[in-house]
Structure 1
Amino acid sequence: MGETRVRLSIFPLAGAILLPRAQLPLHIFEMRYRALVKDAMARDRRIAMIQPREPEEDDNENPPLFEVGCVGKVAEVEALDDGRFNVILEGVSRFRVIRELDVTTPFRQIEGSIEGFGDDIEPDPLSIAMRGGLFDESRKFATALGYAVDWDAVQELDDEALVNMITQVAPFDIASKQALLEAASMEERSEMLIQFMEFFRMHQATGGDDRATLQ
């Protein structure tokens, strides 16, 4: 992906965040996204993940999109007998939407820019204090949600894998997920995660909804 402007086939999916060098498993069952997978496999194996700003409804199959998403490359694909697919995407680079294209394909396509994100460079490691704070808050967060976690295995993750994992699996609202995706650095993303998890725990403790909404 040497070019900065690219034509991308998009998979809009609320709450599903892909990050550079992270993996995202997907179960593809809708006909238009089956077509998307087939097209991607016949061309460059690229699928661009992006969140819609509002839910898809019967009278609006093309809801407006956030401006930033992440291009993934199909790392693994399993074609099921009934036409569905199990896919694992590996994040390559974030992109910014320039414009949506007028296409005849059943899936949406956009022109995007991958310039300015620096996603081809591995981030600097977290400070010891930041790593410790993130790990401690993630344990409190998991306990609040009643999750059983192999913390020894989590401790073995490198900084980027740890941050990416929490970003992808935590049940934050779509605006918070988007803010995490757009964070300028891993350090900034880690700070946001700590704040979001603390907010979520406080929200749960006061009998709030299952999904925290951060403005």
Structure 2
Amino acid sequence: MPMNAAYRSPADLPSTLPVFPLPGALLLPRGQMPLNIFEPRYLTMIDDALRNGHRLIGMIQPDSAHPGPEDRPTLFRVGCAGRITQFAESGDGRYLLQLTGVARFRLEHELSVDTPYRQCLVSYGPYADDFVARKGEKAVDREALLRALRDFLEANKLKADWDGIESAPNEALVNALAMMSPYGPAEKQALLEAPDLKTRAEILVAVTEIELAKGRSPGDVSLQ
């Protein structure tokens, strides 16, 4: 989705971000994520993000391997900044949003703040390539990705819009499939932290292979 704001480098993004910890949530650059906001602290966070003009929040997962207090879980070190590109009020106190991913960030440290939501000092420098749309597309093994997708859909008796899939650019295809994948927080974090699009696609294929193998008899043939 095109955005009214243009982000061309890490310098275009704020170094302080409000963060929304959400297990299993994966936002990637230029991907779209719908959100249903109902907790009072996050309603306040959205109000503030809209009021201050940058309309950015950081999506990040709690790190269940290193649990902290129940109301303040330890966070993974890598998340993704997203811009609020759609906003609606539900009429019953909720906000319905769509975030568009801008760039990944590294959490440097959490700030001591008075707001009910958490805020962190972040850096985008390690992910400067995120600002370049479709970077690394030619290195993606598209056939392996589509083969894994077909086998996953067949195994789960699911259908897909193949015309849309086959016409999608590699970046949009890899990131959309990663974001929609039904895998757990650890797998989602690995997909987020992949150094490039090629590696993200390879992780997605490998995780899909593993999941399919769990339901495969010993004599069945591998996907690849």
Q: TM-score, normalised by structure 2?
A: 0.85
1:116 maps to 2:103: no
Q: 1:133 aligns with which of 144, 150, 153?
A: 144
Contact 2:60 2:80 in 1 (8 A): yes
Deviates more, 1:45-54 or 1:114-123: 114-123
The offset of 1:201, in angstroms, is: 0.7
Gaps of 5+ in 1: 207-215
1:77-122 alpha-carbon deviations (Å, 9 max, x no partner): 0112122011000111100001111111111111111112121112
What is the CA–CA distance in structure 2 between the aligned matches of 1:205 and 1:28, rounded to whole Å? 39
Amino acid at match of 1:26: L
What is the CA–CA distance in structure 1 between the aligned matches of 2:44 and 2:14, rounded to whole Å? 23
Report the 3-state secondary structure (helix = DSSP H, G, I; strand = E; otherwise coil) of the residue aligned with 2:164.
helix
RMSD (Å) for aligned C-alpha atoms: 1.8
What is the CA–CA distance in structure 1 between the aligned matches of 2:177 and 2:138, rounded to whole Å? 15
Give the corresponding residue for 2:6.
none
The offset of 1:4, in angstroms, is: 7.1
Contact 1:4 1:115 in 2 (8 A): no
Give the corresponding residue for 1:74.
84
1:10 maps to 2:19: yes
What is the CA–CA distance in structure 2 between the aligned matches of 1:175 and 1:53, rounded to whole Å? 9
Distance 1:87 1:156, change over 3 A: same
What is the CA–CA distance in structure 1 between the aligned matches of 2:199 and 2:77, rounded to whole Å? 19
Percent identity between the aligned chains?
38
Contact 2:106 2:126 in 1 (8 A): no
1:36 maps to 2:49: no
Distance 1:146 1:30, change over 3 A: farther
Gaps of 5+ in 2: 1-9, 218-224
Contact 2:103 2:131 in 1 (8 A): yes
What is the CA–CA distance in structure 1 between the aligned matches of 2:124 and 2:20, rounded to whole Å? 17
What is the CA–CA distance in structure 1 between the aligned matches of 2:62 and 2:114, rounded to whole Å? 20
What is the CA–CA distance in structure 1 between the aligned matches of 2:158 and 2:55, rounded to whole Å? 34
Give the corresponding residue for 2:94.
84
Report the 3-state secondary structure (helix = DSSP H, G, I; strand = E; otherwise coil) of the residue aligned with 1:66.
coil
Amino acid at match of 1:34: L
Give the corresponding residue for 1:176.
187
Give the corresponding residue for 1:107.
117
Contact 1:17 1:181 in 2 (8 A): yes
The offset of 1:177, in angstroms, is: 0.6
Distance 1:86 1:204, change over 3 A: farther
Give the corresponding residue for 1:167.
178
Q: Report how many aligned residue pairs link the two structures.
A: 203
Amino acid at match of 2:79: G
The offset of 1:51, in angstroms, is: 0.4
Amino acid at match of 1:187: K
Amino acid at match of 2:158: Y
What is the CA–CA distance in structure 1 between the aligned matches of 2:120 and 2:166, rounded to whole Å? 39
Runs of 4+ in 1 over 6 A off after TM superposition: none
